[in-house]
């Protein structure tokens, strides 16, 4: 009898948690206006992804990332062993369309890291 009660309680809690998760996003869809044709450049430690003829932005980002990596790796005495993908969106509006994470991205978010695939996504706001 206790196994049956435990099973019913577990199923009930799972149902409540799924319903609660759906309540948060009900009626809120992540709108994607278009497809991005991604290209990338490689620096020593990073793959910098860009689109829409923003090679200059990607080249600048790769340079800044490598410079920052040298300083941070020396300070923390840590070296990365795999290339880190960096996705640069041309604007905050494009960034909010990302499908790297399924969650809705609120306005004003300046980027995020996605831990499972070890990648970074950031919007370019026009300021270097």
Q: What does the pLDDT look like over 82-96, one tens digit per residue?
A: 999 999 999 888 888
- pLDDT value for 5: 54
pLDDT-based confidence at 70, cuts 50/70/90?
very high
pLDDT-based confidence at 68, cuts 50/70/90?
very high
- pLDDT value for 12: 53
Q: What does DSSP assign to residue 64?
A: H
Is this model's pTM higher than 0.75 or not? Answer: no
Main-chain phi, psi angles of 60, to 5 degrees: -60, -45
Residue 55's CB is within 10 A of a number of other CB atoms, namely: 12
45 has pLDDT over 70: yes
Rounded distance between C-alpha atoms, residue 67 and residue 85, angstroms: 16
Lowest average pLDDT, out of 6-10, 66-70, 117-121, goes to 6-10
13 has pLDDT over 90: no
Whole-Å CA distances, 76 to 17, 22, 61, 69, 79:
40, 41, 22, 10, 9
pLDDT-based confidence at 18, cuts 50/70/90?
very low
19 has pLDDT over 70: no
106 has pLDDT over 50: yes
């Amino acid at each position: 009898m206790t196994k049956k009660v435990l099973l019913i309680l577990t199923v009930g809690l799972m149902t409540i948690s799924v319903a609660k998760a759906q309540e948060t996003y009900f009626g809120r869809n992540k709108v994607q206006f278009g497809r991005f044709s991604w290209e990338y450049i490689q620096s020593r430690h990073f793959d910098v992804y860009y689109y829409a003829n923003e090679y200059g932005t990607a080249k600048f980002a790769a340079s800044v990332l490598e410079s920052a990596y040298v300083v941070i790796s020396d300070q923390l005495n840590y070296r990365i062993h795999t290339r880190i993908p960096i996705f640069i969106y041309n604007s905050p509006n494009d960034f909010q369309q990302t499908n790297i994470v399924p969650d809705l991205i609120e306005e004003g978010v300046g980027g995020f890291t996605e831990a499972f695939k070890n990648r970074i996504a950031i919007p370019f706001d026009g300021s270097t």
